[in-house]
Homo-oligomer: A and B are copies of this chain.
Amino acid sequence: MASNSSNLDAAHKRIAAAYDPNALEAAGARLVSELADHMRHVQARETQVLNWADPEQLIATAASFLHQGAGSASSSSRHTQEATTAPDVETIANGVAQLAGEALARGHNLHHPRYVGHQVPASVPLAALFDMIGTATNQVMAIYEMGPWATAVERAVVNVVGEQLGFAPGGFAGLVTSGGSLANLTALLTARNVALGDAWSKGLSGRDPAPVIVVNADSHYCVTRSAGILGLGTQHIVKAALDDRRRIDANRLDETIADLRSRGVPIIAAVAASGATPTGACDRLSDLVEVCRRHEVWLHVDAAHGGALAFSPRHRHLVNGIGECDSVVCDAHKMMFMPALCAFVFYRNRAHRVAAFQQDAPYLFDPAAAHLTEYDSGIVNLECTKRAAAFGLWGIWSLFGPQLFADLVDVTIDLAKQFHALLAAAEDFETLHEPECNIVAFRHVPGELQHAPPEQIDALQARLRRAVVESGRFFLTQTRLDGRCVLRTTIINPLTTIDDLQALMDCLRELGRTGGTP
């Protein structure tokens, strides 16, 4: 017992060092300088874009810091089971600065102007500061009383973003969750439960015919996945026909739905896209609203990418009608340039906010304060403990106003259009679509390959892309369009210039001359 309590005394000392506000202050100051310096180098194109490394080697490197563990901030050796002394403030600050340096040197530099990759932005750096307020003090939600302020911040941003999308003030409801996949799952779960009233309690066993979801054929993979997760089955996804600009053909959607109805097939939802993944196409939502209302089918829009276009007077026409859809997903961590993750789900009719879930949790929901249930995020969210994911957006909006989101949308779409014009004017590049937003798909076809078999041109694109990405000179992506492999850029760093994109074309030409081997 004496040994027991002396062990605990040592434990308390080590804990006091880790919780010391002086250590937070000293280490935080060092970290902020490191981060700002790093950001300067990255923005000035003085680093690689991606620091490519072999996965197993990199895992071993990450593990090596863990294994030196106790050694770095306490005086014990790594082989001592219990360290007996606690590290001082300076040791901790040095340790944090060293580890931060190691992490920054190996990261993916999305703030490098030559990052033109996935739909993950070079985020507004200051957003991280607001986010850290939540992380350092561990602000969370689930029930109102766990995070009154975190809840209030989320509600306030849900209101302003929802109104920007065109939902009727007071009539709609919304929530923030951890990412677009989870957001789409939540909305489709709601649609399932609304369409099949007893699916939550009885499950889907025994139903015939099987219910379906009708989707934009270019939908993000998470939509089909949702059918797999929700027990509907991925083979009960019906792909809606697209027009020549890769948008759902409203007339043919009407026919598809009418046909399903005539055969008595339950329809969970129709799923449209604003800023569909392959080329950023935006479904004509107003037309789809009309079709779906006529048939009383739930219309869900995955506007994870395109929702933010509603902030721009120049581009908001691309999401006309979004506020008339039954449910909408919009990711602030895409075209609102917030760091991951801050995904919104909106319901046009606020009565639907409680259709997704039911639960019995007496340790959480307090019957002595039933009037607070309306503010319990856990009621409407798949997540129970939930981070204060809207702090970054709240801070940036409060600092700069919504104009900044319009600015970010405008400059990136404008640059995408300039890039498209450059590509169209070049004989050795092939454009594949008129860019609707900031996604541009294209191919590099050097003169000698103009009459080569399509497979050869496909293979070149894939080789080129991998060579560019692993070189760290640029970061771009690829996809398949109508069966062909194509290069794909998302202009999602507002510091990217047309010169960077000209340089990308030159880089592809250079690598193309050696067949895509650097």
Contact = CB atoms under 8 A, between A and B. Distances in A.
A498 interface: no
A333 interface: yes
Contact of A144 (B55, B122, B233): B55
A487 to B, nearest CB: 11
Interface string A125-163: 111111111111111101011111111110111011000
Interface in A65-120: 65-66, 68-74, 76, 78, 81-83, 87, 92, 95-96, 99-100, 103-104, 106-111, 117-120
Contacts of A157: 66
A328 interface: no
* Chain multiplicity (copies): 2
A126 B404 contact: no
Nearest to A149: B106
A517 interface: no
A99 B149 CA distance: 13
B180 A384 contact: yes
A2 interface: no
A138 B340 contact: yes
Given A15-B404, A202-B233, 5 more contacts: A103-B149, A178-B179, A181-B384, A200-B234, A201-B235
21 contacts: A12-B407, A15-B404, A21-B39, A35-B133, A52-B148, A59-B152, A65-B394, A69-B398, A70-B402, A92-B126, A96-B395, A122-B138, A178-B178, A182-B182, A199-B233, A205-B209, A234-B358, A277-B361, A278-B363, A340-B387, A362-B480
A389 to B, nearest CB: 9
Interface string A168-206: 000000000011111001000100000000011111111
Nearest to A177: B178
A303 to B, nearest CB: 15
Contact of A228 (B65, B100, B201, B234): B201
B203 A231 contact: yes
Interface size class of A (residues with CB under 8 A): 35 or more
Nearest to A466: B368
Interface stretch (A219-227, A346-354, A422-430, A501-509): A219-227
B28 A36 contact: yes
Contact of A8 (B40, B52, B411): B411
Given A66-B397, A479-B362, A18 B137 contact: no
A410 interface: yes
A291 interface: no
A46 B130 CA distance: 23
A238 interface: no
A383 B50 contact: no
A375 B55 contact: yes
Contacts of A392: 135
B138 A478 contact: no
B27 A182 contact: no
A340 B14 contact: no
A169 to B, nearest CB: 12
A142 B118 contact: yes
